[in-house]
Amino acid sequence: MKWTKELDDKLEKFLKDGKKYEDIAILMKTTTKSVACRSNRIGLKIIHHKEYKCKNCDILFVDFINSERIFCSHKCSASYNNKNRIISDETKNKIRLGMNNYYSKKEIKIVNPNIKDYNNNKDMIKSIKLPKEKRCKECNELFNEKYKSICKKCHEKYYKYYRPLCEFNFNLNDYKSKFDIKLLEKYGRYSPTNKGNNLNGVSKDHMFSVKDGFLNNISPSIIKHPANCQLLKHTDNNLKNTQSIITLQNLIDRIKEWESTT
């Protein structure tokens, strides 16, 4: 099968609809390998994620296209389902007694306990300090998780919403003059061990990092702009980690220059 511009457009549409290579191969009457190779050649990939709206807090979040989730987190799910829940005094007493028994077995204490019978049961509860509270770098709220710089809610927002929206989705072949294509020709595209095993290949790298974009509330459309992209060997990309090699002002200037010359 000879690939044409019309077939490439169809392929792109199917990928944006979240279809798998196997399904596309059937629709286009070709092989799965042919579809996969053509997608890699023209810089396209399967769109795995879609934007959803949380039923409880109305925040936007990203999940797989066929996901049936309606809440952004377990906390929102519990909050929504417990709004009209009526708890009897008998149930409250059972919960209170259960907490007392739990903490006595674990030999830990609650800081600022809200248990009504705490004074009568304090001999059952031994003291240790909970992790020290610190402020989240993103939302500035207090939290007490060890070894974290952002709270659980912001962590989920970063990985499930912001980061997928910052992935580069432009076709490299459209801007050959803007990138070091010789590097790509020499090492090829990066692919993991289960998809080609080219660990020394080249990947697209964010010069102003996704993490810095998140912490500074920068729009994903700016972070994923081609002007923020450089071709880098994947091994060097791993060493760079989440560091930015340009400032935000540098990026804005690069985008203006890019738009004026293309």
Q: Is residue 106 included in any domain, yes or no? A: no
Where is average pLDDT lowest: 8-12, 122-126, 193-197, 226-230? 122-126
Is 111 part of any domain? no
Structural domain count, the chain: 2
Whether 223 is covered by a domain: the verdict is yes
- Read off the pLDDT of each residue in 126-152 and give the average, rounded to a whole number: 72
With beta carbons less than 8 A apart as the criterion, state whether 195 and 203 touch: no
Looking at mean pLDDT, say which of 17-21, 38-42, 50-54, 204-208 comes out highest: 204-208
pLDDT reported for residue 228:
93
Answer yes or no: is 189 within a domain: yes
Tokens of 3: 């690939």
Instruction: Judge whether 52 and 66 are in contact, CB under 8 Å.
Output: no
Inside any domain, residue 200: yes
Average pLDDT, the chain: 78
Domain final position from 28, 47, 66: 47
Cα separation, 256 vs 134, in Å, equals: 39
pLDDT band of 101, cuts 50, 70, 90 = low
Asked if residue 260 is part of any domain, the answer here is yes
Q: Which pLDDT score, from 0 to 100, does residue 14 have? A: 82
pLDDT band at 120 (very low <50, low <70, confident <90, very high): low
Q: Which domain holds residue 2?
A: 1-47
Domain C-terminal end among 47, 62, 85? 47
pTM tops 0.85: no
Q: Is residue 261 assigned to a domain?
A: yes
Give domain status of residue 116, yes or no.
Answer: no
Percent of the chain exceeding pLDDT 70 equals 81
Mean pLDDT within 139-145: 79
